[in-house]
Chain A
Amino acid sequence: MKEPNDVILRTVSKVAVVIILTFAINLFISGHHQPGGGFIGGLAFVAAIVLLFLVYGIEKVRKNIPVDFKKVAGTGVLIAVFTGVGGMINGKPFLYQVFGHVNLPFFGETEMATAVLFDVGVALAVIGTSMTIIMSIGDDR
């Protein structure tokens, strides 16, 4: 297979991937009160990795991100369900969420909520599933 001349694509995507990943994390965090959240944040995260796929090829990326994405999805679902179980242990209904304000150094007064943990689970599940789908379709085996 002949090597395409894609210097521009490679250079741009090196910067773009960082921007997309930052944006994904921003989407994820802002989701607590504004539009965004684990699902869309996870999808944006996947978009960055897919860009890497397109530019550097599936093998190279797989070597550099040596994770089994099925397991990532599984872990994500487990985290999400266990935040629900947390409510049960405290004698509240399943999926009951709590939040409070904590004074953190550097950040100052910050709102901490267990719903974020749930969202982390959702994000991991979304990343795991969409990566598994893309990798199994993208593979030629």
Chain B
Amino acid sequence: MNNLLVLPIAVPVIVGMVMVIFRNILWLHRLLSLLTTAFIGIVAVCLMDQIKLTGVQALYLGGWKAPFGITLAADMFAVLLVLVTAIVTFCCLCYAFSSLGMEREKYYFYPLTLFLLAGVNGSFLTGDIFNLFVCFEVMLVASYVLISLGGTKIQLRESVKYILINMITSSLFLVAIAYLYAMLGTLNLAHLSVRVAAAGQDGLLTAVSFLFLIVFSIKAGLFLFFWLPDSYSAPPTAIAAIFASLLTKVGVYAIIRMFSLVFYHDLSVTHLFIGILAAVSMVLGAMGAVAYWDLKKILTYNVVVGVGFILAGFASFSLVGMRGTVYYLIHDMIVKALLFLLGGTIIHLTSTTKIKEMSGLIRLHPQLGWMFFVAALSLSGIPPLSGFIGKIFITKGTFQSEYFWLGSIGLLTSLMVLYSVMKIFMNAFWGPALTEETEKVTTDGLLLPIAILTALTIALGLGAEVIHEYVDIAAAGLLDSQGYIDAVLGGKL
């Protein structure tokens, strides 16, 4: 029993509700939201230490033992993601202070972000598949409001599509859960794992696992990403950055959790298929990123490439590949938020999204230019930045599992990604500066969160040793789920 586990979920809800009650005190909202994310970060660090010392932590809500009650379970993988989520949200909130505008901020932006955070953290920490569904919904309902917050025409149009896609997916999710319950009679993830292992993963269970894969693929933007580029370019920058960095990653997390803890007995079918999906989304995403000359489109297609790459490492299902997956997932969350914030700042400065109409920004905004350069290199995995280590582990993992095609596609698309972001850099920052009159706007307050994230991506690359230990525990925990099962079920059953 470890009550720390519930804090990343309960605290945002409590603080968010306090904000709803005191709606008009904006400084309180800003202060409380920052304090909450910082607090969650601290809790995550404490949990990481505890997990390192005593293994996976579990909490039975209300004292009802697993598999009958609601269980929260935290392994190193989940807690690492909670930590990164807190950091990214902190930065995006800072960015929102000076970019979002009074109108939107007053209309429950901060409570909604905190509810989203509660949903994301809940998805990471739950040990029960039905609660995963519930937390998904908490997160999605908050995101529905956030995507349409402000009510501009494009936002309303995209939010209709976004809500429709997610409603259909959620009902499929529920159907899949019902199938699983009908077959195995339990919803606790650890208990499911035990039962699937005992019953053997036959064709029927594999079919159900594919249903789950479809559901999570739509949510993660893996292969079924047709809805993603439009939706993610609709909301304001701070919100788009939160979406790009967190929402798809929850889908990725769900795929990794389900296919490492429950459905891992038929690797040659399920994981090969995940590998194929990953390869296809990398290729299609990279093609989109290369083809478009619209800043927002390029960035959103890069989200798809990132998701493909993370799952390529997972498909290899080897220790090195897993290590790469965990590392790259952390890197991707940070660098995607960073790129979206940078992109938003560029659009804010030039008031256009077409990169051919931009020029010479580096003369007036050298810091912004160099930070974009660092982010671009980090995204495509140039050493010594944070993308490099994840990339090398993932490539090694795919080669080790003899998915040579997968590794090669990963490397090839990295080049295309590099081209796509360099295209932005060269068009927006090089060349003659446009006349002074386009500079009506300032970057006051926008650069600080960007600087934090840039520093982080450099630190993650140079100081990989520091978190290597934790990543190792996370990767090992994903491959051998016995520790997780023992912690949740208490060694019984």
Contact = CB atoms under 8 A, between A and B. Distances in A.
Interface of A: 70-71, 73-75, 77-78, 81-82, 84-85, 87-88, 92-97
A32 B104 CA distance: 41
Interface string B107-136: 000000000000000000000000000000
Interface residues of B, number: 16
Given A84-B10, A93-B3, A94-B3, A77 B17 contact: yes
Contact of B3 (A73, A81, A82, A88): A88
A70 B20 contact: yes
Nearest to A95: B62
Q: Which 6 A-B pairs have CB atoms at the shortest separation, nearest pair first?
A: A74-B20, A95-B62, A94-B6, A74-B17, A74-B21, A95-B61
Say whether chain A's binding surface is mostly helix, strand, loop, or mixed: helix
Given A77-B13, A87-B62, A93 B1 contact: yes
Interface in B61-106: 61-63
B481 to A, nearest CB: 23
Interface string B1-44: 10100100010011001101101000000000000000000000
A92 B63 CA distance: 8
A81 B21 contact: no
A118 to B, nearest CB: 10
Contacts of A93: 1, 3, 59-63
Given A70-B20, A75-B17, A87-B63, 5 more contacts: A74-B21, A78-B21, A81-B14, A81-B17, A94-B10
Contact of B20 (A71, A82, A85, A97): A71
Contacts of B14: 78, 81-82
A81 B7 CA distance: 11
Contacts of B17: 74-75, 77-78, 81
Contacts of A88: 3, 6
A64 to B, nearest CB: 22
12 contacts: A70-B23, A74-B18, A74-B20, A77-B13, A78-B14, A81-B10, A81-B13, A84-B61, A88-B3, A93-B60, A94-B10, A95-B62
A133 B18 CA distance: 20
Contact of A71 (B1, B3, B21): B21
Nearest to A88: B3
Contacts of A70: 20, 23
Residue among A85, A88, A93 with max Cβ neighbours from chain B (10 Å): A93
B9 to A, nearest CB: 9
A134 B21 CA distance: 19
Nearest to B59: A93
Contacts of B3: 88, 93-94
Interface string B453-481: 00000000000000000000000000000
Contacts of A81: 10, 13-14, 17
Contacts of B63: 87, 92-93, 96
A77 B62 CA distance: 17
Given A81-B14, A88-B3, A94 B61 contact: yes
A141 to B, nearest CB: 15
A87 B59 CA distance: 13
Contacts of A74: 17-18, 20-21
Given A84-B10, A88-B3, A94-B6, A78 B62 contact: no
